[in-house]
Structure 1
Amino acid sequence: MTRLYATGASLGVLLALAGHVRDPVVVPWDGLHPFLLPAAATSDAPDIPHEVLTGVVRQYCVRCHNDQALRGNLSLEAFEVEEVAERAETGEKMINKLRAGMMPPPGARRPSSDTLLALVETLEGIIDEASARDPDPGFRTFQRLNRTEYANAIEDLLGLKVDAGQWLPLDSYLAHFDNMAVAQTLSATLLDAYLNAANEVSRLALGEPNAAETSATYRVSVYESQHAWERVEGAPFGTRGGMVKDHYFPADGEYVFRFSFWAGDKARYEDLDISIDGERVALLELEVLHIDADLGPNWIMETEPISIHAGHRRVAAAFIEKVAGPYDDILQPHESSLAGTRAAVGYGVTLLPHLRDMTIVGPRDPRGVSEASTRGRIFTCRPTSPDDAQPCAEKIISRLATEAYRRPLSDRELEDIMSSFYDGFAETDGFEVGVRTALEAILASPHFVFRIEPEPAGVQPGESYRVSDLALASRLSFFLWASPPDNELVQEATSGRLADPRVLEAQVTRMLQSPKAEALATRFAAQWLRLQDLDLVRPDAFWFPDFTEQLANNMRRETELFFHNLVKEDRSIMELYAGEYTFLNQRLAEHYGIEGLVGDHFRRVEYPEAMQRRGLLGHGSILMLTSVGTRTSPVLRGKWVMEVLMNTPPPPPP
């Protein structure tokens, strides 16, 4: 059993708890704290008999952890070191506290460091030996695809980017993770959501020739700066502000784009560029913009109907850049372009209009569906005669179902799905409708929605068994990639070679080098470090007028890249605590006071010697999420360090 323990670096970063959000102070820590114990792999503990170690527990621990006091709801009166395997849960709690130097508590009598080290390693050894003799992997309840996994599975299967949150309810979290099987529930409402998702995705993938007119609205965060020098990634060069969104157009037809605005009252001659996949389709000229005093829009503009082909398109709406550099104003502008806007209406203050939201309406007068990339991935063949319809459909459906089910397809399963094809084909006499009906059946199948792991034949209740290679392939893929296994991994599993340790290691190495492995940073590390809580913290604009949405996103990206680099290059885990480098772009480097970086792209940067930022607690993301809106919070920061980095949560408050 491999364990990771907090070392002296954690105590060093604890000294940063009172640091400022913008410029934290991280004090380096050389050597181990006297109360902390080194990891077992590097220690040299003395050999002390079990009965002597039991006496140590009696002498130093039972005073608080007895049947009467029950400190921490734990009694060690009857505890025997040699029998710790029978109380493994209690033993693991003791190991965590001892390794972190939290027990005996500071100020209390404590044995020598060698004795404590011998105690903790003896406990570990007994528990690990018992686990090796009689492994108990526990049981695994059913597991379903969460929102992210569902969206990734659809993209891998069909090349279609979807927002699963449109159909699926919020994921259940356990210990801040959204993929814990034990926390996932099943209800009639949830099943209906998956059925609705299957119906909608099948329509999106093939298009809707007679799509009804609908509207979709996208909004720009009020924290997103739209200064003259702020270009949104993906927008045309020479533009500022605005937004870039991926939008699905269900059919060829006419679409109207409608916009409303923030701020910029009385602004003149501002032009809004609207482009689809990088090509301009409209230019709105704002001769004079009128905005209410409370920043609410009373000026809405829309384009003439624009002819657009069906499919996923990248829509950009941004202002034409009129100023190449910073403003030369009487009042120096803040980084946040809307900070102080209520006062910024007089002479000597530049306040440009800001895009507030964009609504896409259509299609009007739909004209069928053009061939899009998703349709090309589905229709790998086309019947040229009625006799070709069945074999072509079987080829398409067999491939889609095999990839969707993450395993080879049986003949019976193919027959069942083909019956759905025949139903759709007979109802409309249309090959495409039949394929869409079959695709909907595939996406609604439990074999796609659930990660089913059948038990081997003959297994008795409570008996442990090795998971199948196909189940192992799915576990690996959804953990490392948050998406289904690819063809190579499925082939290795189908052949039975994945259980070979050498093959397994080779596949894990290959998967970690894949771009998909960044999911370990954006999903696993982000949830472990609780980066999703960044959305709940918004520094007060009065005290921090330079905070912007772009800066918060850069902070999050810095931490994700730091962890991804740690995994990809197989670096020491101690760099999480004391790494002397990070990943920055120009905006974040200027925020940290580091000079010499130009551009929006991130790159590895060594901290200057005079700067005391180190490891994760030097990252703006961690410092911000452990703060409140107006100040830092030593209590929140210390609690985060104990829970996340040390795995030793503090006791509940009295």
Structure 2
Amino acid sequence: MPRLIPFLTVFGLLPLSMAQEGQTTSLGEFIEQRCSKCHGVEDPEGDLNLVALENEGLGENRDKWLLVAEELSLQVMPPHPEPKPARSEYLAMLAILKDSLGDEVPELSTPVTHAPFSALRRRTVREIAGAILALTDIETPVDALPMEAGLHVYDVVGAGMTLDAAWLDRWLSLADSVSREAIRLPEPDRIPHVQASGRKLSSPRKSGGRLSTQGTAHLTHEFPRDGDYTLRGKAWAQQAGTRHAWVALTLDGKRIEELQITGEGPDSAITMTVHMRVTKGPHQVGVAFLNDYFQPKEEDLRERDRNVIVEQVSIDGPSDPQPPTSFQTELLLQAGEGDESQAQLGTAMTILADRAWQEAPRAADIQRLLELVQEEPSPQARLRLGLAAVLASPRFLLVGEVGEPGTPLSGPALATRLALFLWGSLPDEQLLQYARNDTLQETDVLEREVERMLQDPRARGLAAGFVPQWLQIVRLKNHEPSKELFPEYDAQLREAMLAEPVELFHSILQEGLPARDLVRADWTMINQQLAGHYGLPATGRSKETERYSLTETVRRGILGHGAILTASSDPGRTSPVLRGKWVLEALLGDAPPPPAPDTSPLDLSAPADRGLSMRERLKLHRTEPGCASCHVAMDPLGFALERFDAVGRTRVGKVDEQGTLPDGTQLDGPLGLSKMLTSDARFLPHLTRSLATYAVGRPLNSEDLDTLERAMKKVPEPDPPLRTLVRTIVLSDLFRRQPRDTPNQDQ
């Protein structure tokens, strides 16, 4: 990882204070976009060729660079009528120059008169994993990276992200790890050897390698990959009885070789050796004592007790040549098979950068990469470090672009936004081709691409990214129902619950069904474990997710999903208040205000409340000033879901599940709530706004909302399919252009 630090400095990863604001770009990009027209290669004005100077590096031509810094500080370059950079860009470039040239670089003068909006943000941890999978076909464990704060509900909103030194350090480590898995090197001359002496082995009586009864002394080892290994176990015996001691070499408790120890004492130790294929991951290698003997009444002390002492267990390997990954093979084929020259390496680096950055790298970029990796001992090692550097670049980590308010996004920026929204991943080659041909902004092309991408299996990324945040069930991962009351609730059931709303949303999207089916569908997508939890008859077909009918139940759409019902309950009981608040907030966009600071919390354990029903306790609570106005709207919605307990099971018998809304609407259980939400005029607009916020990665301002409303008025269907909402958002100016005003961060 430390090898990447010089690359980040040269490549223009700005001081973190700048990066946190999402206002970063490299010096090379700035010169190419803002200066090369006049100060490029051919006949540069003032005989100042900034492209050539930048390729030589900031350490050369100090006086010329100080002149450039002065012009930038005065904001006179580029000259009129060329568009002026944002103030943040000037600050960024001066910071880069100051890092290399020192305090002679002047500060920025008076602010520019306009400030183009920056849509730059860091990829989320989820998007990083999707991009790496698309690029290398490797599923990345991103647990080492802190998850986003999720401001404004959605993790894609830049204000909830960090790019500080700690985060960046973890990311560099992960980029290095990904490159090591994606690019395999020839095996080293020395085969790895791991050895543990008897006293360091684990055994049933915690006696190390001394086995006085039948059992195993073992070593737990993390095998780095599938491969050929040599396993050894050395042991000797204290004999007793008429038979010799028998031992076995074991792998994960299974005997792989058995041997008799015929002698006695350390000098008669035997070694068992097995050459075998072992899979990647943690395994236990040990020596087992198979035939214990103990006769405490035997007069001859030497004949009373048979024991085995394990001296050591060792592992050598992997010893077989490691084949290249499919990603590595494909990359080298495209770069020129069999040619390990600098030219092939440069071609491979160009392919990598083009895929990861979604834009063609400049010759200077590739030259920097080649300079970074030149000290590596082999072509494969140079390629590995090059991949890590490409992933560490701001061009991979940051998405979006800086632009004038209201202007169309560039083709690559639009392609990236579309792929992140629908797939949570990188654009594929077809999408990039339209982007590079400047045809993606054409409405018919964009509409066709939306339909194509929604039919792709990667479209599950939209449901997986959006639904848990929209429905606020991310919190379920930290919610623990009472083990005493709900012993059947475990990690597997929780994961099945979390998958259900994602699968329902994805199915409705794929099948072109109405968006309102999210709250009225009489079917769901679950596995057998969750079906049993709901009391549904087992199909006997599969343990995988499949469609179950709910027509004979009161469950409808997401209202009957265990994830939502559990996350909106207290650990030991249901909470009509939490459930009602969730309906208002997540489904209707009508969140109640927080309680006043002097409001007493609802304490269901208070002695004065004992013996009262839940409804009576809430009624008593509403007598406090400032409580009634919110609870009169929340509580009836929550009581409508009282048919389900605190882990989402259906309650039998009499349940208090009726309520009256402020407008007089009567609710009778989950079916009544489903009917009410299906007809509520707030549901579809709020769902659309939520999708749009997730799509563009920012809170919507007033003009965004007006744009979205105008687009939705053109939708002809009274009960529009969910995919129509998605398509309408993508085709709107909200998605295809920069915002005209800075989004309201307090929204």
Smaller-chain TM-score bracket: 0.5 to 0.7
Larger CA deviation: 546-555 vs 618-627: 546-555
Distance 1:362 1:624, change over 3 A: farther
Aligned to 1:436: 384
Match of 2:183 among 194, 206, 222: 206
Match of 1:643 among 575, 585, 591: 585
**Contact residue 252 and residue 283 of structure 2 kept, 8 A:** no
Match of 2:491 among 525, 546, 549: 549
Separation (CA, whole Å) in 2 of partners of 1:370 and 1:176 = 45
Aligned to 1:188: 165
Which gives a bigger RCO, structure 1 or 2 (Cα 8 Å, sep 6+)?
A: 1
Q: Give deviations 1:120-149, integer Å, cap 9, x for gaps.
A: xxxxxxxxxxxxxxxx99934531122121
Aligned to 2:570: 628
Distance 1:572 1:204, change over 3 A: same
Q: Give deviations 1:15-39, integer Å, cap 9, x for gaps.
A: xxxxxxxxxxxxxxxxxxxxxxxxx
Aligned to 1:105: none
Larger radius of gyration: 2
Q: Which amino acid aligns with 2:380?
A: E
Aligned to 2:254: 284
Separation (CA, whole Å) in 1 of partners of 2:585 and 2:317 = 57
Q: Which amino acid aligns with 2:181?
A: L
Separation (CA, whole Å) in 1 of partners of 2:434 and 2:119 = 26
Aligned to 1:419: 371
Structure 1 residue runs of 5 or longer lacking an equivalent are 1-135, 216-246, 258-279, 286-302, 318-360
Aligned to 1:95: none
Match of 2:433 among 480, 484, 491: 491
Tell me how far 1:306 sits from its aligned partner: 7.5
Aligned to 1:607: 550
Match of 1:562 among 504, 509, 520: 504
**Contact residue 253 and residue 363 of structure 1 kept, 8 A:** no
Match of 1:142 among 120, 127, 130: 120
Aligned to 1:405: 357
Q: Which amino acid aligns with 2:390?
A: I
**Contact residue 480 and residue 517 of structure 1 kept, 8 A:** yes
Q: Secondary structure at 1:165's aligned position in 2?
A: coil
* 1:574 corresponds to 2:552: no
Separation (CA, whole Å) in 1 of partners of 2:392 and 2:183 = 16
Kindly report the root-mean-square deviation, in angstroms, between the aligned alpha carbons of the 2 structures. 3.6
Separation (CA, whole Å) in 2 of partners of 1:485 and 1:139 = 24
Q: Give deviations 1:634-653, integer Å, cap 9, x for gaps.
A: 11111111110111111111
Tell me how far 1:509 sits from its aligned partner: 0.8
Distance 1:362 1:413, change over 3 A: farther
Tell me how far 1:454 sits from its aligned partner: 4.6
Q: Which amino acid aligns with 1:566?
A: I
Separation (CA, whole Å) in 2 of partners of 1:520 and 1:148 = 11
Aligned to 1:370: 322
Q: Which amino acid aligns with 1:433?
A: A
Match of 1:151 among 119, 129, 134: 129
Separation (CA, whole Å) in 1 of partners of 2:174 and 2:537 = 49
Separation (CA, whole Å) in 1 of partners of 2:169 and 2:546 = 45
Distance 1:308 1:419, change over 3 A: farther
Structure-to-structure mapping, 1:30-69, within 5 angstroms = none
Tell me how far 1:189 sits from its aligned partner: 2.5
Separation (CA, whole Å) in 2 of partners of 1:530 and 1:304 = 55
Q: Give deviations 1:343-385, integer Å, cap 9, x for gaps.
A: xxxxxxxxxxxxxxxxxx9984454751143432443268788
Aligned to 1:171: 148
Structure-to-structure mapping, 1:377-392, within 5 angstroms = 377-380=330-333, 388-392=340-344
Tell me how far 1:539 sits from its aligned partner: 2.3
Match of 2:224 among 230, 242, 249: 249
Q: Secondary structure at 2:390's aligned position in 1?
A: helix
Q: Give deviations 1:284-330, integer Å, cap 9, x for gaps.
A: 37xxxxxxxxxxxxxxxxx99885579xx58899xxxxxxxxxxxxx
Separation (CA, whole Å) in 1 of partners of 2:512 and 2:532 = 29
**Contact residue 331 and residue 348 of structure 2 kept, 8 A:** yes
Aligned residues: 392
Distance 1:363 1:475, change over 3 A: farther
Q: Which amino acid aligns with 1:402?
A: D
Separation (CA, whole Å) in 2 of partners of 1:580 and 1:204 = 45
Separation (CA, whole Å) in 2 of partners of 1:365 and 1:552 = 39
Q: Give deviations 1:245-268, integer Å, cap 9, x for gaps.
A: xx98358564999xxxxxxxxxxx
Distance 1:193 1:585, change over 3 A: closer
Distance 1:646 1:384, change over 3 A: closer
**Contact residue 148 and residue 160 of structure 2 kept, 8 A:** no
Tell me how far 1:213 sits from its aligned partner: 8.0
Distance 1:573 1:511, change over 3 A: same
Separation (CA, whole Å) in 1 of partners of 2:230 and 2:511 = 48
Separation (CA, whole Å) in 2 of partners of 1:362 and 1:446 = 44
Distance 1:523 1:379, change over 3 A: same
**Contact residue 143 and residue 451 of structure 1 kept, 8 A:** yes
Q: Give deviations 1:95-154, integer Å, cap 9, x for gaps.
A: xxxxxxxxxxxxxxxxxxxxxxxxxxxxxxxxxxxxxxxxx9993453112212112211
Separation (CA, whole Å) in 1 of partners of 2:223 and 2:448 = 39
**Contact residue 207 and residue 369 of structure 1 kept, 8 A:** no
Tell me how far 1:497 sits from its aligned partner: 0.8
Q: Give deviations 1:596-642, integer Å, cap 9, x for gaps.
A: 52231222233234x22112111111111111221111111111111
Separation (CA, whole Å) in 1 of partners of 2:545 and 2:124 = 30
**Contact residue 627 and residue 637 of structure 1 kept, 8 A:** yes
Q: Secondary structure at 2:447's aligned position in 1?
A: helix
Separation (CA, whole Å) in 2 of partners of 1:449 and 1:158 = 16
Tell me how far 1:476 sits from its aligned partner: 0.7
Tell me how far 1:202 sits from its aligned partner: 1.7
Higher helix proportion (structure 1 or 2): 2
**Contact residue 119 and residue 401 of structure 2 kept, 8 A:** no
**Contact residue 224 and residue 281 of structure 2 kept, 8 A:** no
Q: Secondary structure at 1:172's aligned position in 2?
A: coil
Separation (CA, whole Å) in 2 of partners of 1:438 and 1:366 = 26
Distance 1:535 1:194, change over 3 A: closer
Q: Secondary structure at 1:379's aligned position in 2?
A: helix
Q: Secondary structure at 2:139's aligned position in 1?
A: coil
Separation (CA, whole Å) in 2 of partners of 1:214 and 1:204 = 22
Separation (CA, whole Å) in 1 of partners of 2:125 and 2:132 = 11
Distance 1:637 1:451, change over 3 A: same
Q: Secondary structure at 1:380's aligned position in 2?
A: helix
Q: Which amino acid aligns with 1:548?
A: D
Tell me how far 1:491 sits from its aligned partner: 0.6
**Contact residue 586 and residue 600 of structure 1 kept, 8 A:** yes
* 1:467 corresponds to 2:417: no
Percent identity between matched residues is 30
Structure-to-structure mapping, 1:522-537, within 5 angstroms = 522-537=464-479
Structure-to-structure mapping, 1:315-394, within 5 angstroms = 364-367=316-319, 370-373=322-325, 374-380=327-333, 388-394=340-346
**Contact residue 149 and residue 483 of structure 1 kept, 8 A:** yes
Aligned to 1:616: 558
**Contact residue 523 and residue 551 of structure 2 kept, 8 A:** no
Q: Secondary structure at 1:517's aligned position in 2?
A: helix
